[in-house]
Amino acid sequence: MDIIFYHPTFDTQWWIEALRKAIPQARVRAWKSGDNDPADYALVWHPPVEMLAGRDLKAVFALGAGVDSILSKLKAHPEMLKPSVPLFRLEDTGMGEQMQEYAVSQVLHWFRRFDDYRIQQNSSHWQPLPEYHREDFTIGILGAGVLGSKVAQSLQTWRFPLRCWSRTRKSWSGVQSFAGREELSAFLSQCRVLINLLPNTPETVGIINQQ
We find that the CATH architecture of domain 2-88 is 3-Layer(aba) Sandwich (3.40)
Are 84 and 137 a contacting pair, CB within 8 Å? no
Output the average pLDDT for the chain.
Answer: 92
Give the pLDDT mean for 175-199: 94
Domain ranges of the chain: 2-88, 95-196
pLDDT tens for 47-92 read 999 999 989 999 999 988 777 788 888 888 999 999 899 999 887 6
Residue 195: which pLDDT band, with cuts at 50, 70 and 90? very high
DSSP code for 142: E
DSSP code for 131: P
Is residue 23's pLDDT more than 60? yes
pLDDT of residue 66: 73
Residues 26-62 as b/e (b if ≥16 CB within 10 A, e otherwise) read eebbebeeeeeeebebbbbbebeeebbbebebeebbb
Is residue 209's pLDDT more than 90? no
Distance CA 1, CA 26 (A): 5
Are 160 and 112 a contacting pair, CB within 8 Å? no
What is the value of pTM for the model shown? 0.70
- State the Cα torsion 22-26-29-34 to the nearest 10°: -150
Give the pLDDT mean for 175-186: 95
pLDDT of residue 91: 73
pLDDT of residue 211: 56
Reduced to 3 states (helix: H, G, I; strand: E, B; else coil), residue 84 is coil
Reading phi first (left if > 0) and then psi (alpha if -120 to 50, else beta), residue 46 is in left
pLDDT tens for 144-178 read 988 999 999 999 999 999 999 999 999 999 999 99
* 95-196: CATH superfamily: NAD(P)-binding Rossmann-like Domain (3.40.50.720)
pLDDT of residue 93: 67
Give the pLDDT mean for 140-144: 95
Nearest to 17 by CA among 33, 1, 5: 5
More confident residue, 202 or 84: 84
What CA–CA distances, in Å, run from 34 to 2, 49, 50, 174, 182?
A: 17, 12, 8, 54, 49
Cα angle 94-24-86, degrees, rounded to a multiple of 5: 60
Give the pLDDT mean for 15-44: 95
pLDDT tens for 82-135 read 989 999 988 766 788 899 999 999 999 999 999 999 999 999 999 999 999 999
Query: Identical fold at 2-88 and 95-196?
Result: yes
